[in-house]
A = this chain, B = another copy of it.
């Protein structure tokens, strides 16, 4: 490996983490290298920089493309493909979230739906389905929140994040107002329409 020390440390770290993120070491390294590189790189340069075989680079770039994590660039009068990453980190985050959802969540959600449609044969089945339903409903809450939030422009998304849990003060205020009209426990579903419930103490 033939890179400036700072870049090298970053690249090696991403390589090690690759495994935990669902890609292999080389894919992680290539991504890291492209991410910090000031210019797009061609396959040969990547192979050279990381000290790995040209064919390994080719396969790993394919995988990065399957993840939508790299961009192709061309340079006039040079027919090689040059690769780079999007430079907006928030865009990168969106792509990553989308891809991970597609791989890690969606298949499970669809299996859960399928199994919940089956007619239970006995009490064991009924119990199992009740558990699957709990999991299904939680995942639905999460993905519908996600679908909603991903539509936000980045600026707003950042604002929303920095607001953090302060948002709940909003809910508390709503609560207090709402309780005058409607005395007691309601299903918590559509809080936005003003029918939250219970829970005093809020500071």
Contacts and interface: CB of A to CB of B under 8 A. Distances in A.
Interface of A: 4, 6-7, 9-10, 13-14, 17, 20-22, 35-36, 38, 89-90, 93, 103-104, 107-108, 111, 115, 118, 120-122, 124-125, 127-129, 131-132, 134-135, 138, 141-142, 144-145, 148-149, 151-152, 155-156, 158-171, 173-174, 187-196, 198-199, 202-203
Given A35-B135, A38-B127, 10 more contacts: A4-B128, A6-B120, A10-B115, A13-B111, A14-B108, A89-B134, A148-B166, A159-B191, A162-B188, A166-B192
Contacts of A124: 4, 7, 38
A192 to B, nearest CB: 4
A20 to B, nearest CB: 5
Contact of A163 (B13, B127, B128, B192): B192
B22 A20 contact: yes
17 contacts: A6-B121, A13-B111, A17-B108, A36-B127, A38-B127, A141-B161, A148-B164, A155-B199, A156-B199, A158-B188, A159-B188, A159-B191, A160-B167, A162-B187, A163-B167, A166-B192, A170-B195
